[in-house]
Amino acid sequence: MIESIDTAQFNEVIKQGCVVVDFTAPWCPDCRHIDPMLDILEKEFAGKVSFYKVSFDTQTDLKNTLNIRKIPTLIFYRNGEEVGERLIEPRSIDDIKNAINAFI
């Protein structure tokens, strides 16, 4: 199960290693669509990549700071720096997996 984090935790977890942050909401059908894919990828990349969820509804300052307009949005970090392109409303597990492989 992927841990949900708040803004303070976000600023800490992105500092070390490779991290995928999923901006999501429980009412979002596309978010629910990719949740099982992220669970599979979290297991597949265990030890290499950390996965976290951030609430689109409650973490509004972070959402606005990062200019998140659509969900789900996946952002990739390596040692505190955003890397690669953001995935906005990804459709397939292959899209997500390719993006992860590109930055680890």
Q: Give catalytic residue positions.
A: 28, 31
Q: Confirm if 68 and 56 have CB atoms less than 8 A apart.
A: yes
Q: Could you give the CA distance from residue 40 to residue 22 in angstroms, rounded to a whole number? A: 14
99 alpha carbon, distance to own chain's centre: 11
If you search the block for the tokens 């708040």, which residue do you land on? 6
Amino acid at 69: R
